[in-house]
Amino acid sequence: MKSKWNDLLYGKFKRPKKWMLEKDLSFSSDLTKEDIKKFKDAKVDVKITATGKITVPEGYITDLASVPRACWAFIAPFDVARPAVIHDILYEKINGAFKEGVIATKKDREIYRSIADNIFKQGMQNSNPSVPKWKIVSAYYAVRLFGRFA
Protein backbone atom coordinates (compact mmCIF):
# COMPACT_ATOMS: atom_id res chain seq x y z
CA MET A 1 0.00 0.00 0.00
CA LYS A 2 1.18 3.51 -0.76
CA SER A 3 1.18 5.68 2.34
CA LYS A 4 -0.90 8.84 2.11
CA TRP A 5 -2.36 11.76 4.07
CA ASN A 6 -6.06 12.59 4.36
CA ASP A 7 -5.52 16.34 4.07
CA LEU A 8 -3.48 19.28 5.24
CA LEU A 9 -3.01 20.01 8.93
CA TYR A 10 -5.62 22.43 10.28
CA GLY A 11 -4.77 23.95 13.64
CA LYS A 12 -5.27 26.91 15.91
CA PHE A 13 -2.33 28.48 17.74
CA LYS A 14 -2.51 28.09 21.54
CA ARG A 15 -0.09 30.28 23.45
CA PRO A 16 2.72 29.98 24.26
CA LYS A 17 4.00 27.22 21.90
CA LYS A 18 1.19 24.77 21.11
CA TRP A 19 -1.32 24.10 18.39
CA MET A 20 -4.76 22.49 18.63
CA LEU A 21 -6.01 20.44 15.70
CA GLU A 22 -9.22 21.84 14.25
CA LYS A 23 -9.80 18.76 12.12
CA ASP A 24 -8.82 15.08 12.37
CA LEU A 25 -5.44 14.32 10.79
CA SER A 26 -5.07 10.86 9.25
CA PHE A 27 -2.17 9.04 7.69
CA SER A 28 -2.53 5.72 5.90
CA SER A 29 0.74 4.05 6.84
CA ASP A 30 2.48 0.89 5.74
CA LEU A 31 2.14 -0.66 9.21
CA THR A 32 2.17 -4.44 9.12
CA LYS A 33 -0.66 -6.47 10.65
CA GLU A 34 1.86 -7.62 13.31
CA ASP A 35 2.70 -4.01 14.23
CA ILE A 36 -0.99 -3.07 14.43
CA LYS A 37 -1.59 -6.09 16.68
CA LYS A 38 1.35 -5.06 18.90
CA PHE A 39 -0.18 -1.61 19.42
CA LYS A 40 -3.61 -3.04 20.18
CA ASP A 41 -2.22 -5.72 22.55
CA ALA A 42 -0.25 -3.08 24.45
CA LYS A 43 -3.37 -0.90 24.67
CA VAL A 44 -1.57 1.96 22.93
CA ASP A 45 -4.65 4.15 22.75
CA VAL A 46 -4.34 5.52 19.22
CA LYS A 47 -6.97 5.13 16.53
CA ILE A 48 -5.33 2.65 14.10
CA THR A 49 -7.46 0.74 11.62
CA ALA A 50 -6.74 -2.81 10.43
CA THR A 51 -5.28 -1.28 7.26
CA GLY A 52 -2.80 0.91 9.16
CA LYS A 53 -4.63 4.23 8.97
CA ILE A 54 -3.66 6.32 12.02
CA THR A 55 -5.94 9.20 13.04
CA VAL A 56 -5.12 12.04 15.41
CA PRO A 57 -8.41 13.52 16.63
CA GLU A 58 -9.61 17.07 16.33
CA GLY A 59 -8.75 18.90 19.56
CA TYR A 60 -5.37 17.19 20.01
CA ILE A 61 -2.74 19.59 21.39
CA THR A 62 0.74 19.45 19.84
CA ASP A 63 3.93 21.48 19.55
CA LEU A 64 4.15 20.33 15.90
CA ALA A 65 7.81 19.26 15.94
CA SER A 66 10.23 19.60 18.84
CA VAL A 67 12.99 21.17 16.77
CA PRO A 68 15.37 23.41 18.75
CA ARG A 69 15.07 27.02 17.57
CA ALA A 70 18.78 27.08 16.64
CA CYS A 71 18.09 24.38 14.03
CA TRP A 72 15.16 26.11 12.31
CA ALA A 73 17.41 27.39 9.51
CA PHE A 74 17.80 23.74 8.50
CA ILE A 75 14.60 22.02 9.65
CA ALA A 76 11.72 24.11 10.92
CA PRO A 77 8.73 22.54 12.71
CA PHE A 78 6.43 23.34 9.79
CA ASP A 79 8.71 21.37 7.40
CA VAL A 80 7.67 18.11 9.07
CA ALA A 81 4.50 19.15 10.93
CA ARG A 82 2.04 16.45 9.83
CA PRO A 83 4.42 13.52 10.37
CA ALA A 84 5.49 15.07 13.69
CA VAL A 85 1.89 15.23 14.95
CA ILE A 86 1.36 11.53 14.15
CA HIS A 87 4.71 10.78 15.83
CA ASP A 88 3.79 12.90 18.89
CA ILE A 89 0.56 11.04 19.60
CA LEU A 90 2.23 7.66 19.10
CA TYR A 91 5.03 8.54 21.54
CA GLU A 92 2.53 9.98 24.03
CA LYS A 93 0.44 6.82 24.01
CA ILE A 94 3.47 4.48 24.01
CA ASN A 95 4.90 6.30 27.03
CA GLY A 96 1.50 6.14 28.74
CA ALA A 97 1.30 2.38 28.22
CA PHE A 98 4.86 2.05 29.55
CA LYS A 99 4.05 4.08 32.69
CA GLU A 100 0.97 1.92 33.29
CA GLY A 101 3.09 -1.22 32.99
CA VAL A 102 1.31 -2.56 29.89
CA ILE A 103 4.58 -2.20 27.99
CA ALA A 104 6.76 -3.94 30.53
CA THR A 105 10.37 -3.07 29.78
CA LYS A 106 12.45 -0.28 28.26
CA LYS A 107 13.53 -2.78 25.61
CA ASP A 108 9.87 -3.37 24.69
CA ARG A 109 9.24 0.39 24.63
CA GLU A 110 12.16 0.73 22.18
CA ILE A 111 10.41 -1.67 19.80
CA TYR A 112 7.30 0.54 19.78
CA ARG A 113 9.42 3.68 19.53
CA SER A 114 11.19 2.25 16.47
CA ILE A 115 7.83 1.58 14.80
CA ALA A 116 6.68 5.15 15.57
CA ASP A 117 9.94 6.56 14.20
CA ASN A 118 9.50 4.58 10.98
CA ILE A 119 5.95 5.95 10.61
CA PHE A 120 7.42 9.46 11.06
CA LYS A 121 9.86 8.73 8.21
CA GLN A 122 7.05 7.31 6.01
CA GLY A 123 5.01 10.43 6.67
CA MET A 124 7.86 12.69 5.56
CA GLN A 125 8.51 10.55 2.48
CA ASN A 126 4.86 10.87 1.44
CA SER A 127 4.30 14.54 2.19
CA ASN A 128 3.11 17.04 -0.35
CA PRO A 129 4.84 19.40 -0.73
CA SER A 130 7.71 16.97 -0.61
CA VAL A 131 10.30 17.03 2.14
CA PRO A 132 13.87 16.98 0.79
CA LYS A 133 15.65 13.68 1.38
CA TRP A 134 18.38 15.27 3.52
CA LYS A 135 15.71 16.68 5.86
CA ILE A 136 14.01 13.29 6.08
CA VAL A 137 17.29 11.59 6.99
CA SER A 138 18.25 14.34 9.48
CA ALA A 139 14.85 14.44 11.20
CA TYR A 140 14.57 10.65 11.32
CA TYR A 141 17.98 10.18 12.93
CA ALA A 142 17.28 13.04 15.34
CA VAL A 143 14.19 11.24 16.67
CA ARG A 144 16.06 7.93 16.77
CA LEU A 145 18.83 9.55 18.80
CA PHE A 146 16.89 11.96 21.02
CA GLY A 147 13.39 10.43 21.08
CA ARG A 148 14.20 8.17 24.02
CA PHE A 149 14.28 11.32 26.16
CA ALA A 150 10.78 12.40 25.13
CA 107 to CA 98: how far, in whole Å? 11
Question: Over 70: is that where the pLDDT of 1 sits?
Answer: no
Question: Over 90: is that where the pLDDT of 21 sits?
Answer: yes
3-state secondary structure of 49: coil
Mean pLDDT confidence for 12-31: 93
Res 2: pLDDT: 61
Most confidently predicted of 10-19, 40-49, 117-126: 117-126
What is the value of pTM for the model shown? 0.90
pLDDT in tens, 95-145: 999 999 999 999 999 999 999 999 999 999 999 888 999 999 999 998 898
In the chain, % of residues over pLDDT 70: 97
